[in-house]
Chains A and B, each alone.
Chain A
Amino acid sequence: MERFLLYFISGLAVGSLYALVALGLSLIYRSTRILNFAHGDIASAGAFFALTLMGLKIPFGLVFIMALLFGSLLAMGFYFCILVPAQRREATLLGQIILTLGLGLIIQGLTSRIWGMEPQPFPFPLSDSKVWNIGGIYISELSVGTIAAGLLGSICLYLLVQRTRLGLAMRATSENLQAAQTLGIPTRRILAISWGTAALLGVVAGLFLAPLLLLDPFYMLEPFLKGFAAAILGGLNSLPGAIVGGLILGIAEGLAGGYISIAFKNTLAFLIIIAVLLVRPEGLLGEEFIERV
């Protein structure tokens, strides 16, 4: 039982980071139908930016906030300077998705050029080896922090989307852009805010993953793919789905890695996804948008 809880909780910690990545992906997908392939790379750019700031002896709290801002501004800049002009020239959806892929590759190139390809340790105030004993279960400080970050990020996003007027405008924009515009909702600004918010969630995940993995320009690739898978599992256009998908994926990985073999960790996770999608192609909580033609 103890072993089970141990694997479960470490899976939960990783899963909450997958959930954050997945939330960012579905936030963009449901409002623009774009799969943001640069999502992981924006997060790693944020983490590298944080690494540099830490080298300047800036306190970590401030570094954390500045890294989030950096990621958001990067994504909003991409939206305004690249996506909007592309849309004006009537770029197809696929074309716009390729643009995000391009952005990802550019960021990878730039981070390799500036910070090098060598994996670097990421100094983080929460330690992976310091362990708390909660009711006989040993949890590392980092896992506790990670679960808290995932929880807090999800709750904040929920409050933003469901309880504020900005969130209402975001929902209206994602459900029907033209209708939202005719009601006077500045859809472009709303979408830019969505891109910024999505990137912010991605950077949070990136900063918590950096101490677990070593920091190199490609360290977010696997978490990005897992987040993507989690979003599909939950239903790409559902925000609660992204959270559920992320947690299931993380826990499945944790249990498979613990009981079967570390090598089998990814395999089992994706077997579950295949099984779910065979039964519910729209994902666990997904719903197909219907449009009257």
Chain B
Amino acid sequence: MNKSGGSKALLEIEDLSISFGGIMALAGVDLRLEEQEILTVIGPNGSGKTSMFNCISGVYRPNRGKILFEGESLLGLSPDRIARRGIGRTFQNLRLFLHMTVLENLLLGRHVHFRKNPFHAFMRIKREEIRHREVVEEIIDFLDLHAYRKARVADCPYGIQKKVEIGRALALEPKLLLLDEPISGLTAEEKEEAAYRIGEIRGRYRIAVLLVEHDLRIASRVADRMVALDYGRKIAEGTPQEVQSHPEVIRAYVGEE
């Protein structure tokens, strides 16, 4: 397993398994993600992609296996503790604060960086506030959200909402960003833009991105490496070209001949 000669990966998953009432959503998946790497997990619906995300971010507790982030286990930690470790995520069916503005949603992403000591917070509240605003303003710039900053999220179009969710996860200043189908449901034009932005995220924030996607074309364009899942098992791993042309992957996507 440790081909890289002892150098620690950012995220290491070993033998990850979880079942729901007899259905194995994940059956012994291994995965390794290096710093500043973009890895795409592909697979048909129900192949276990989102279950894997939910295990990493602490929403599900796996039945078996290991999840190490920066060499430390994440198992048994609550989702908020995992977020504090430096993992931000988005959801397939957006989970935004619909009654708040775009700006407020992004500022809430700064919550982990709020000072704990209330006295301290009182003393430095100005400087801290400025820093939070700066980070958020940069994200607004980066995602081109200026026109919507004061709009209630519920009133924003779907494509904007998806961007807000990515922005909110970025506001955490995570070391690892998990994107659950960031492209699905977008128009063709928005898809191109989103794919471009995902590459930019790494360039600008120097973080690793793990994304789940079933649009093969876009997925293979943004990824350094790809992993294919089917029925909770890893069926292929490698460069996007290798994975796309893998006979098992073709069978899973197109069906038996």
Contacts and interface: CB of A to CB of B under 8 A. Distances in A.
A292 B157 CA distance: 13
Interface string B167-203: 0110010000000000000000000000000000000
B84 A184 contact: yes
Contacts of B80: 180-187
A290 B98 contact: yes
B97 A172 contact: yes
B100 A292 contact: no
A175 B83 contact: no
B49 interface: no
Given A175-B98, A188-B78, A183 B111 contact: yes
A52 interface: no
Interface stretch (B1-9, B88-96, B212-220, B242-250): B88-96
Interface string A252-293: 000000000000000000000000000000000001001011
A169 B154 CA distance: 19
A176 B111 CA distance: 15
Interface residues of A, number: 22
A169 B97 CA distance: 11
Nearest to A172: B108
Contacts of B81: 184, 186
Interface in B59-98: 59, 78-81, 83-84, 88-89, 91, 93-98
Contact of A292 (B59, B93, B97, B99): B93
A65 interface: no
A6 B220 CA distance: 76
A293 B95 CA distance: 10
| Interface size class of chain B, counting residues whose CB lies under 8 Å from the partner chain | 20 to 34
A292 to B, nearest CB: 6
Given A187-B80, A188-B78, A290-B154, A182 B88 contact: yes
A183 B109 contact: yes
B253 to A, nearest CB: 26
A176 B83 CA distance: 16
A178 interface: yes
B31 interface: no
Contact of B100 (A175, A185, A187, A293): A175
A175 B97 contact: yes
Nearest to A291: B98
**Most chain A beta-carbon contacts within 10 A, residue among B57, B111, B114:** B111
B97 A184 contact: no
A188 B100 CA distance: 22
Interface of B: 57-59, 78-81, 83-84, 88-89, 91, 93-100, 108-109, 111-112, 114, 121, 154, 168-169, 172
The 8 closest A-B pairs by CB, nearest first: A184-B112, A184-B83, A181-B79, A179-B95, A184-B84, A186-B80, A175-B97, A181-B80
8 contacts: A176-B96, A176-B98, A179-B91, A179-B97, A182-B95, A183-B83, A184-B112, A186-B80
Given A180-B108, A181-B58, A188-B78, 6 more contacts: A168-B108, A168-B111, A172-B111, A176-B98, A181-B80, A183-B109
